[in-house]
Amino acid sequence: VSDPVRIGLLGRGTVGDAFHELIAQRADAIGVAAGRRPEIAGVLRRSEGDFEAILDESEIVVELMGGTEPALEYVLLALRAGRHVVTANKQLIAQFGDQLFDAARMSGVQLRFEAAVAGVVPVIRVIQESLAAIEITKVFGIVNGTTNFILSEMASTGASYADCLRRAQELGYAEADPSDDVGGADAAAKMAILARLAFGTPVALGDVSYEGITEIQPDDIAYAKELGLSLKLLGVAERREGGISVRVFPCFLYAHHPLAPIEGPFNAVMVQAPTITEITMSGPGAGGVETAAAVLGDVVSILSGKAPVHVARGSLEIVRDISSSFYLHLEVADRPGVLAQVADVLGRNEVSVQSVVQRGMGDEARLVMVMHECPESRFFKALEEIATLEFLRGQPRAIRVIEEEFV
Ligand SMILES: NC(=O)c1ccc[n+]([C@@H]2O[C@H](COP(=O)([O-])OP(=O)(O)OC[C@H]3O[C@@H](n4cnc5c(N)ncnc54)[C@H](OP(=O)(O)O)[C@@H]3O)[C@@H](O)[C@H]2O)c1
């Protein structure tokens, strides 16, 4: 029997503890399948362990502390000392990817991070390994389970954003401070990682424009249901004329869209390319045991020897003004001519309307429209003008709509 592979575990919180348990349960089976039995060489927590001593004892370092300090320092030291590293830390990879990949390359070791995006759904492995030979045109999906849970809950109960957030916190799907999730920053970090891998180009966090779900109103979801739409927080990384665009935004999907049925704290990622048409992967996006399973899967991949190929295609421009289709929700005075004036502003800005729902409510009315795709700058200019119309009774609300056709 060959020597065990010794693992230094940095962090033993939700994921670290589940990882520790999983090693205890699965070590023998992995030993048989991969040829070497994993064992924990040492654990570092705030209250326990010494990093240098753990590094000396380990062949693979598993970073499950979170945050960027001291995680970055420890991971760099480990890579430079010739240790393979597995991490679930999306901020670390999104912010310091260049530095970390360089350090791994220089030392000839592997840096794996499957759990950093979409939990146990194997999107990183599929993009880096299964699809390494093709030119990916678009990677997009639901990469934040907290917001997907909140939006699903709003749609099924009609409750407010604040009530659904509270429920997510009670169930452990949202943290006490949910701002990174609900504001879109968490999804943005994951999309930066996916874009980097899919397009072989460095993508900084600042290259990703993002919006969250905090402004979504229950009646947006209710009206959109009438139009056959469901609401998701989507991350989209795609090739565009002259470069790439990487964005996170709430948007409506038609019922036939493959991501429309993804409910609750689940994640789903689609990859498109002419060669493969499209692939959809979905599953649990978080959770201690699920994430630990992805981390241990990375350890097994390291034991099997082969590092993923890095396809670097050089720098690509970030394209910002792109075309989108929008849903527009207006609260207006209920009197003749209102629709015509709104239509006039849209028409002058070359924004064309695809469908309209109009509802009278006493002396107020709701006007809910879906536009055809047009350059976003053109739509926002029309929106600015609409906001000044004197019959408006509240701030206009605009949400993107994905019109794409699927096979
Ligand atoms: N939870 C999930 O479902 C999930 C899903 C996907 C990815 N992730 C990622 O997995 C990582 C770990 O998340 P988690 O939820 O397990 O976090 P957690 O429960 O907060 O655990 C963090 C662990 O790291 C230790 N630690 C933190 N700072 C340290 C420091 N300066 N020195 C030494 N030890 C330190 C903590 O020590 P103490 O025990 O002494 O406090 C704790 O054991 C994060 O990068 C997170 O983004 C988590």
Give the pLDDT confidence of 119-148 residue by residue, as tens digits.
999 999 999 999 999 999 999 999 999 999
How confident is the model over 156-161, as a mean pLDDT?
95
Judge contact between 103 and 151, C-beta under 8 A: no
* Ligand 1 neighbour 64 (Cβ under 6 A): yes
- The pLDDT score that the predictor gives to residue 406 is 54
Ligand 1 centre to CA of 352 (Å) is 49
Condensed to tens digits (0 to 9), the pLDDT of residues 7-18 reads 999 999 999 999
| pLDDT greater than 60 at residue 280 | yes
According to the model, what pLDDT value does residue 407 have? 46
pTM: 0.95
Question: Residue 2 has what pLDDT?
Answer: 77
Q: Is the Cβ atom of 15 under 6 angstroms away from ligand 1?
A: yes
pLDDT at 1 over 70: no
Q: Which residue has the higher pLDDT, 347 or 363?
A: 347
Reply yes or no on whether 190 is catalytic.
yes
- Whose CA is closest to 42, among 79, 90, 8? 8
Q: What is the pLDDT of residues 235-278, one digit of tens each?
A: 999 999 889 999 999 999 999 999 999 999 999 999 999 999 99
Closest residue CA from atom 40 of ligand 1: 46
CA distances from 163 to 171, 179, 345 (A): 13, 15, 36
Single-letter amino acid code for the residue at 5: V
| Number of Cβ within a 10 Å radius of residue 129 | 15
Residue nearest to atom 29 of ligand 1 (CA): 46
Q: Is the CB of 291 under 6 A from ligand 1?
A: yes
